[in-house]
Amino acid sequence: MRTIIVDDEPNSVELTSNLLKTYCSNVEIIATASSVQDAYKSIAQHNPDLVFLDVQMNDGTGFDLLNLFQTISFKIIFITAHQQFAIDAFKRSAIDYILKPISPPDIVNTIKKAEHYFSGSEWNLQLKALLHNQTESLPQRQKIILKTMERIYSIHIQEIVRFHSEGSYTEVFLADGKKIVVSKLLKEFEELLSNSGFLRVHQSHLINMDFIFCFEKSESQVTMKDNSLVPVSTRKKELLLEVLNAF
């Protein structure tokens, strides 16, 4: 894969380059760039297969660079320091990233994924969700990527009413009445949406607080605006009341 490294830290460029040369014989480094503008010119000139793209640079972000292209035909591996806003955007868009400083296992694993996981329409949908998420400051207005065996969905978080765990699968219920079943644990969604107005009220249920219609204290049960009934566990009852009182 003909590769360009985009990073404004010389030491990071050197490390990435050395790791690729040492552990990834199928990668050819054809250029490096240290700014958004230089990277744009280099990508336009060389038409690479793969770009290692730092999130934060002196003259802008990797997202700014991507927004300069009408179509993106190259694969991207994002590199970031511990910037939580970027990490959240990647996770919700189901796009892989590697953290600085890069290690040999990181580079090997991400190159293996880059060889296989990009299909045009799926990648473009995920990339659009990523670019949307990094510009949207309100977490509930961001998008989340949901994947099933047959389809990939890009869903606004505020359209999700609740999640229900079914073993290793999770049912996702939307405001328009649709249901999507994904092979992902409820705990993963709880962590992913911890700052987006969702609360786990039961071992098997994660709900969007904006869709609560009422809470029957005596029944320990929530009625959602789509008329679904969700049980509230004893140990979650006080937490739910605290959150409701804070609204």
On the question of a common fold for 2-135 and 145-246, the answer reads no
Residue type, position 178, single letter: K
- Decide: 199 and 206 in contact? Cβ < 8 Å: yes
Looking at 3.40.50.970, 3.40.50.300, 3.40.50.720, 2.40.50.1020, the CATH number of the domain 145-246 comes to: 2.40.50.1020
Distance CA 66, CA 186 (A): 32
C-alpha–C-alpha distance, residues 161 and 226, integer Å: 8
pTM of the model: 0.84
The residues spanned by each domain of the chain are 2-135, 145-246
What lies within 8 Å, CB to CB, of 56 at 6+ separation is: 62, 80, 81, 83, 86
Per-residue pLDDT tens digits for 27-54: 999 999 999 999 999 999 999 999 999 9
| Residue 87 burial (10 A CB sphere; 0-12, 13-18, 19+) | middle
At the second CATH level, the architecture of 2-135 is 3-Layer(aba) Sandwich (3.40)
Give the tens place of pLDDT for each residue, 112-135: 888 776 556 778 888 899 989 888
Instruction: Show pLDDT as tens, one digit a residue, over the chain (247 residues).
Output: 999 999 999 999 999 999 999 999 999 999 999 999 999 999 999 999 999 999 999 999 999 999 999 888 888 999 988 777 778 888 898 888 899 889 999 999 999 888 776 556 778 888 899 989 888 878 888 999 999 988 999 999 999 999 999 989 999 999 999 999 999 999 999 999 988 999 999 999 999 999 999 999 999 999 999 999 999 999 999 999 999 987 6
CA distances from 234 to 151, 200, 231, 238 (A): 37, 12, 10, 8
